[in-house]
Amino acid sequence: MTTLERPVRPRRVHYPESDGKPMGETDLHRDLMTDLIFALKWFLRSTQAYVAGNLFIYYEEGNPRAAVAPDVFVVLGVEQRRRRIFQTWREGGRAPDVVIEITSKKTRKDDRERKPAIYAALGVREYFIFDPHGEYLEPPLQGYRLVQGRYEPIATDPLRSEVLNLELRQEDGMLRLYDPQTGERLPTSDEEAQARRAAEARAAQLEAEVARLRAELARLASAQAALESSSSEEA
């Protein structure tokens, strides 16, 4: 009698979406991350690029331990859409082009040793690290560019990302991004909202002024018509 063997189903690998840790250790860390992500999305809104942060990047299919979660990262040539995790083998083999880490007491060793080694192996072209309190890095803002598989310090002042064509500057404990073409600072979500409200207020003011001028023209036209009618009757 022949025994038929059941086909062996491939083992389903679980890739966690979270390690249970908070997104940022302090309000400042969280604000920096969200502001940078917003600014980069705003700047790259007309470019095919994926901007995210504190999201697990899995870089070895079948191995959920092969993961890293940058504070902020940009992947060029990849659609901007909501993802729960980023799996390089499902994204055409793409990995981040630029990574920004906001370092702290708990993460400084990881940010200086383990993560850069992974980023270099993944081919992350530029790596920036920022110590907002100025306690662990000197200078507090540093940048590195991948050269033949190794990171070399970026010597420009201010730091410049050649990949993104942006400048990174430290301002009052914050990390701000500038467009070197225009010299303008990229907005945070609050600044963009304020600018939008100001623009809407100006538009409403102009609309009200146009309505006033139209009413004034109508009044003058009516007065002119009455004057001409009176002149015709007298004649």
**pLDDT for 190-207, tens place per residue?**
999 888 777 776 877 878
Give the least confident one: 2-6, 29-33, 159-163. Answer: 2-6
Which among 140, 108, 141, 147 has a CA at the least distance from the CA of 124?
147
Kindly state the DSSP code that residue 131 receives in the 8-state scheme. Answer: -
The torsion defined by the Cα of 153, 159, 165 and 166, in degrees rounded to 10, comes to 140
Task: Provide the percentage of residues in the chain whose pLDDT is more than 90.
Answer: 68
Percent helix, strand, coil in the chain (nearest 5)?
Answer: 35, 25, 45
Q: What is the chain's mean pLDDT, rounded?
A: 90
Residues 6+ apart with CB under 8 A from 188: 35, 38, 39
Instruction: Place 3 in a pLDDT band, splitting at 50, 70 and 90.
Output: low
pLDDT band at 1 (very low <50, low <70, confident <90, very high): low
Query: Quick check: 132 and 32 in contact, CB under 8 A?
Result: yes
Alpha-carbon distance of 113 to 135, in angstroms, equals 17
User: What angle, 0 to 180 degrees and rounded to 10, lies between the N-to-C axes of helices 189-234 and 27-43?
Assistant: 50
- 103-109 mean pLDDT: 89
Non-local (6+) Cβ contacts of 26 within 8 A are: 104
How many whole angstroms separate alpha carbon 111 and alpha carbon 50?
A: 22
pLDDT tens digits along 151-189: 999 999 999 999 999 999 999 889 999 999 999 999 999
Helices and strands (H, E) in the chain, number of each type: 4, 13
Residue 95 makes CB contacts below 8 A (sequence gap 6+) with: 57, 59, 75, 88, 122, 123, 124
3-class secondary-structure state, position 49: strand
Residue 228: predicted pLDDT: 73
Single pTM value for the model: 0.83
